[in-house]
Amino acid sequence: MPGDKTVGGGDDAFNTFFSETGAGKHVPRAVFVDLEPTVIDEVRTGTYRQLFHPEQLISGKEDAANNFARGHYTIGKEIVDLCLDRIRKLADNCTGLQGFLVFNAVVEPYNSVLSTHSLLEHTDVAVLLDNEAIYDICRRSLDIERPTYTNLNRLVSQVISSLTASLRFDGALNVDVNEFQTNLVPYPRIHFMLSSYAPVISAEKAYHEQLSVAEITNSAFEPSSMMAKCDPRHGKYMACCLMYRGDVVPKDVNAAVATIKTKRTIQFVDWCPTGFKCGINYQPPSVVPGGDLAKVQRAVCMISNSTSVVEVFSRIDHKFDLMYAKRAFVHWYVGEGMEEGEFSEAREDLAALEKDYEEVGAEFDEGEDGDEGDEY
C-alpha cells in the first residue's frame, strides 16, 4: 500500500498515543471513565477489548442520571481519586507531555451552563460539538434519514483525528497541540472553538467527484459544515486553523486561503491581521470500512475562533432562563449537595462570556480610526 511509507517518524510517531508494554504490546494512553458500567462494558467486551488495559477502563455502579451535581459532588467524588491516579501513571510514562485531551458529553440546558462555567476556568481550548448540527450534516451530506450516535461519532472522530495527525504522521507543515492555544486564543476566556470538516461525502457521490483543495477549503467555511449550531456569517473570525490531510501541496493551500480572504461573507476582526494557521499532513484520512464516509484523497479540518459561537451560548442561556425562572428540576441538584447560588453564579459567568464576545467583535468598528500599520 503506497500510503504506508508516509507513516514516517517510525516508532516515535506511533508512541505519541500508545505506550509499549514489556510484552511488546501497544496500549493507548487513554482513560475511559463513566459512573455507570453499561457503555464501558461495551468496550470491555467489544471488538477492541484486547487493545485497552483493564485498569484504564473505570466505571462506577450507578450513573449521574444526567445530573451535574451527582457527577460533580456525590457519585463523581467517589471515583475521582482513582481516575487521577490512572492519569498520573500515564503522564509519568510520557517523555514530552503536551497536554490532555478531555472528552465529555453534557445535556442542555442546566448541565451545559454548569459545565461551561467550569470549562471557562479550567481549560485552555474547548472545541464545541453540537449533536443537532452533526445530525443535520449526516442528513444533508450523507443522506442518512435517521442518524445514530455511531454516525455522529464517526464524523466527530475525523475531527479529533485531524487535530492530532501531525503528532502521528509526517507532513509539510506540522501543527503542534500547543500551537492551537497560541494561534487561536486571543484572550484567555475567548477559547471556545468551532469545528468543521470537509469533504463529508458518501461513497456513492465520491465515486463521481474528486474534490480539489479549493473546493474542500470553501466547503469547510460553509455555515452548513459547522459542527455547532451557529452561523459564522453573523460574526467575525479571530483566527482559523486549517489542517489538511492527504494529497495537498502548500501552493494550493495558499491559493485557497487567498480566495477565502476575498470573500465578503467571511469577515475577520481588524486587530488580527493574518488569522490563518495551516497544517499539511501527507497521511490521507482513514475511514471505518463499511462506514458512511467515503475514502478520499484529501480532506481538511478547520478549527476556528469566531464571535458567532456566542449564538450557541445565548441559545442555551435562553433555555436555562425559561426553566430556572420556574426553578424546574432544581431540587434534584440541591438534593445532591449543590447550592442554588451556583446556578446563578454559572449563569452570570455565561452572561459575562456573551458580553466578552460582543466586545471582541465590536473592537472592529472602534479600532478603525486608531493607529494604522501596527504589526503583531
Q: Where are the alpha helices (DSSP H) in 131-270?
A: 131-142, 149-168, 177-184, 203-206, 213-221, 250-262
Q: Where are the beta strands (DSSP E) in the chain?
A: 18-20, 26-28, 32-34, 57-59, 126-127, 192-198, 237-246, 276-281, 298-306
Query: Is there a contact between 171 and 282 (Cβ–Cβ < 8 Å)?
Result: yes
Cell of 129: 460539538
Q: What does R_g of the chain's alpha carbons equal in angstroms?
A: 22
Q: How far apart are the first and last CA of the chain?
A: 45
Q: How many CA atoms are closer than 13 Å to the CA of 174, on its beta-carbon side?
A: 14
The residues that are catalytic are: 179
Q: How far apart are CA 241 and CA 191, in angstroms?
A: 13
What's the burial of 23, exposed, middle or buried (CB within 10 Å: 0-12/13-18/19+)?
A: exposed
Q: How far apart are CA 247 and CA 252, in angstroms?
A: 10
Q: Is 185 helix (H, G, I), strand (E, B) or coil?
A: coil
Q: Pick the closest to residue 142 from 158, 163, 162, 165 (CA basis).
A: 158
What's the burial of 11, exposed, middle or buried (CB within 10 Å: 0-12/13-18/19+)?
A: exposed
